[in-house]
Amino acid sequence: MSALAPPYGASQLLPRISTPERMAQLQREAAALPSVVLHSAAAANAVMLAAGYFTPLAGYMDRADALSVATAMHTSEALFWPVPILNRFLEKPAVAPGECLALHDPNLPGQPLLAVQRVSAVELLSADDISRMASGIFGTDDPSHPGVSTFLEQGNWLVSGSVEVLHHSYFESDFPQTFRTAMAIRSEMEQRGWGRVVAFQTRNPMHRAHEELCKMAQSAVSADGILIHMLLGKLKPGDIPAAVRDTAIRKMVELYFPPNTVLVSGYGFDMLYAGPREALLHAIFRQNCGCSHLVVGRDHAGVGDYYGAFDAQAIFEQVPPGALALEPFCADHTAWSKRLGRVVMMRDVPDHQPEDFVLLSGTKVREMLAGGEALPEEFARPEVAKILMEYYQ
C-alpha cells in the first residue's frame, strides 16, 4: 500500500489553530488589543490556515508577496503559490508592525474573536496594485466577475503577519458531519488504509456526470478511494446552499458507490471563481489532505465565459517541476451516450456523432428544477433529483 501524498512545502502539516490552553490565554490578551472585524474572505483564509489546508503558510501575505504571487505564482522566497492570502481593510487599523491585532469573525453572531495576528506590516495598496492583483488572480479586473467584485470591495489597507486561530468559525457548528480539517481527513484516509486518493472538488450538487467522473478517475489512476470535498463557505447568488448539496451528495454516495470507497467532507472557504488559479489552489490543499490526484474538469472553478473550457488543466503546465506531488486528472467534456446508455467522456468515444450525445449541463439542471420539471435519468439519479426538487419547490 502506497503512502498518502506528503504535505505541501513542509515535512508535516502546520495548522495555525491554538491549543485549548493557548486559546484561553489569547482570549485574555485580546481584551487589551486593538480589534477589527474581518472581511468574510479574510476570515475564510484564517479558517483554512487553522485547518492545515494552507500549509506551509503561517499567516497573511504582505504587498511584495501578494504582488509576486498574483503576477508570477510564487512568494518572494520562491514558494510556488497561486493566489495571494490576504487580510485587507477599508480603513487603516490602529496597529503598528510588531504589535498584535485581535481579529473578529464577521460570520458569527456577536462577532467573536477568531484569531490574533502578530502584525509584520501595515501597507497601503495603490489602485494599480489592486488592479494588477485582480488581473493576475482572475485573468480580468472586470467588476461584473463575482470574484473580482468581492476582491475589489475588501479595501486598500493590507495587514500582513502570522496568525493564531481560536476556532473554525461557523463551519463546525453548521456542518458538524461534514466540515473536516486537513489533519482529520488525512487521519481518516490512513485509518481506511488508503494510499492513492483522487479528490473531487464541488460547489454544486453532483449529477450523473460528476458521479461517473469520480468513478472514471478512480479507475484510471488505480486509487484506493475518492475524497468528495465540498466548499462550505460563501457563494454567489443562485448557487445551491451547502446543506442541500451535502444531503444530495451523501444520498448518491450511499446508493451508487461501493462501501469504503468514498469520503464525503467539506472545507471552510469562500468561493473565488478564479478558474485556473483556483484549480491550482485546490491542488495544494488537496495534497495537504493526502490526495495523489485532483479531478480537473471542464471550466473548473470558473464562472460565466471568463475562462476557456480547459484553461484550468493547461495552467498545471506552469507548475515548477517537483513543486506539487499531486497530479491533475484532466477530464474531458462528459455527456450521456444514447448508444451506450451511460455517461462517457467524449474523447473516449471517437465513433460517436453529435446526435449520439445528450449534453449534461448544471445550468440546464437548475433551469429545469426552477421550472418544476422532473430531471431525466441522464441528468441525475432519481433520489438526488428528489432532494433538489424539494429544495427548489
pLDDT at residue 374, rounded to an integer: 85
Least confident window among 61-70, 356-365, 384-393? 356-365
Please tell me whether residues 205 and 129 are part of one structural domain: no
CATH number at residue 381: 3.40.50.620
Q: Is residue 1 part of a domain?
A: no
pTM of the model: 0.96
Q: Does residue 1 register a pLDDT over 80?
A: no
* Residue 318 structural domain: 177-392
Per-residue pLDDT tens over the stretch 164-189:
999 999 999 999 999 999 999 999 99
Q: Which of 133, 167, 201 is the last residue of a domain?
A: 167
Burial class (CB in 10 A: 0-12, 13-18, 19+), 202: middle
Q: Which of 138, 167, 196 is the last residue of a domain?
A: 167
Burial class (CB in 10 A: 0-12, 13-18, 19+), 255: exposed
Over range 329-348, report the average pLDDT. Answer: 92
Q: Which of 149, 167, 185 is the last residue of a domain?
A: 167
CA-CA distance, 65 to 79, in Å (whole number)?
A: 10
pLDDT at residue 202, rounded to an integer: 94
CATH number at residue 104: 3.10.400.10
Q: Is residue 10 part of a domain?
A: no
Q: Are 68 and 76 in contact (CB under 8 A)?
A: yes
Helix (H) or strand (E) holding 305: none
The one catalytic residue among 118, 156, 204, 250? 204
Please tell me whether residues 246 and 282 are part of one structural domain: yes
Please tell me whether residues 256 and 342 are part of one structural domain: yes
- To the query of whether residue 204 is one of the catalytic residues in this protein, the response is yes
Question: Of the candidates 180, 196, 176, 198, which has an alpha carbon nearest to the alpha carbon of residue 188?
Answer: 180
- To the query of whether residue 203 is one of the catalytic residues in this protein, the response is yes
Least confident window among 185-189, 281-285, 330-334? 330-334
Least confident window among 32-36, 165-169, 241-245, 310-314? 241-245
Please tell me whether residues 280 and 351 are part of one structural domain: yes
pLDDT at residue 365, rounded to an integer: 77
Least confident window among 180-189, 238-247, 268-277? 238-247
Structural domain count of the chain: 2
Q: Does residue 209 register a pLDDT over 70?
A: yes
Per-residue pLDDT tens over the stretch 49-103:
999 999 999 999 999 999 999 999 999 999 999 999 999 999 999 999 999 999 9
Per-residue pLDDT tens over the stretch 110-140:
999 999 999 999 999 999 999 999 999 999 9
Q: How far lies 234's CA from each of 269, 318, 322, in Å?
A: 7, 29, 33
Q: Are 337 and 344 in contact (CB under 8 A)?
A: yes
Q: Spell 21-37 as b/e; 16+ CB within 10 A means b.
A: eebeebeeebeebebbe
Sheet holding 334-337, edge to edge: 342-345, 334-337, 357-359
The one catalytic residue among 180, 203, 208, 277? 203
Residues in the chain: 393
CA-CA distance, 166 to 296, in Å (whole number)?
A: 33
Please tell me whether residues 84 and 233 are part of one structural domain: no
